[in-house]
A and B are shown apart, each in its own frame.
Chain A
Amino acid sequence: MEGVTLLYPKGFINAHTVRVFEGEIQKALAQGQFKIVVNCAGLAYIASAGLGAIMGAIEEIRGNGGDLRLANLNDAVRNIFEILGFHHLYRVYPSEVEAITSFGPPAAAGS
């Protein structure tokens, strides 16, 4: 299955809301969708619970030839990524379009 799954978390991801976010990622994986873009335009902040949810899924995603990439981080979220060094572990793009096209054209997706 080609194509990129888009997730649009809204508000905040902390210990209270992380199950919803985790559920959306797991839903994509269950459908065999391993190319995921998380558009963070509506995300005010993320706590360690949310980062843990990404951490917990990334091995399966990459093991299946996919990746989870992020777009549109606000200053607060980008700052947390930098504090934790997550910007070295995940690819982050200024816009959703750039994040999607970073996966390459569907026909040429061979990596």
Chain B
Amino acid sequence: MRSPKASLTISIPSETSFLALVREVTKKMAASAGFADGTADRLALAVDEATTNVIEHAYHGSADREIELRIEDRGPEFRVEVVDSGATVDPRAVPRVDLGQYVSERRTGGLGIHLMEKIMDSVTFRRAARRNVCCLVKRKDSAAAR
């Protein structure tokens, strides 16, 4: 028989002061899913970045919208979905990081998505029921290998 796994769904205002809470909740859920401290820290950062992206891009900085976080221990993997009802954002339109060009071109965008992709095993975006869903997945076996 399979034992039940933890899952947690929370709603927060699209306000950057809530990023610290997002981070704490994600870190605790990651730890309870069995990730070591360092990995749990990185997972929390990835979710912070995804939430920041929603505030800045989907909601254009408005602090009075809603963001839903669905954090789920799915056994072999840890999954976090960050859901918003803002403007459709095409993440492929976000320029990826070229560190060589950073210093010379003063580019500061794109770092967040780059970090998310480095930390997670997969980062996907979909539009469903007029909402944007950013899905972050970390496999437990990949974390153990590090």
Q: Are A76 and B99 in contact (CB under 8 A)?
A: no
CB-CB nearest in chain A for B108:
A52
> How many contacts A-B (CB < 8 Å)?
78
Contacts of B41 in A (CB 8 A): 45, 76, 79
Contacts of A55 in B (CB 8 A): 102-103, 106-108, 111
Which stretch in A25-33, A35-43, A84-92, A99-107 binds the other chain?
Answer: A84-92
Q: Are A88 and B99 in contact (CB under 8 A)?
A: yes
Q: Are A80 and B20 in contact (CB under 8 A)?
A: no
C-beta contact mask, B33-44 vs A, less than 8 Å → 1, else 0?
A: 000001001100
Q: Are A16 and B17 in contact (CB under 8 A)?
A: yes
B121 contacts A by Cβ under 8 Å? no
B48 contacts A by Cβ under 8 Å? yes
Chain A, 60-83, CB within 8 A of any chain B CB: 62, 75-76, 79-80, 83
Q: Are A56 and B108 in contact (CB under 8 A)?
A: yes
C-beta contact mask, B48-91 vs A, less than 8 Å → 1, else 0?
A: 11001001100000000000000000000000000000000000
Which stretch in B4-12, B112-120, B136-144 binds the other chain?
Answer: B112-120
The answer for the CA separation of A59 and B104 in the assembled complex, in Å, is 7
| Interface size of A in residues (CB-CB distance below 8 Å) | 25
Instruction: Determine the main DSSP class of A at the interface with B.
Output: helix
A7 contacts B by Cβ under 8 Å? no
B30 contacts A by Cβ under 8 Å? no
The answer for the CA separation of A62 and B109 in the assembled complex, in Å, is 20
The answer for the CA separation of A49 and B108 in the assembled complex, in Å, is 8
B25 contacts A by Cβ under 8 Å? no
C-beta contact mask, B11-27 vs A, less than 8 Å → 1, else 0?
A: 00000110110010000
The answer for the CA separation of A53 and B109 in the assembled complex, in Å, is 10
Q: Are A15 and B20 in contact (CB under 8 A)?
A: no
Q: Are A48 and B99 in contact (CB under 8 A)?
A: no
B133 contacts A by Cβ under 8 Å? no
Shortest Cβ gap from B30 to chain A (Å): 13
Q: Are B38 and A51 in contact (CB under 8 A)?
A: no
Shortest Cβ gap from B15 to chain A (Å): 8
A6 contacts B by Cβ under 8 Å? no
Contacts of B42 in A (CB 8 A): 76, 79-80, 83
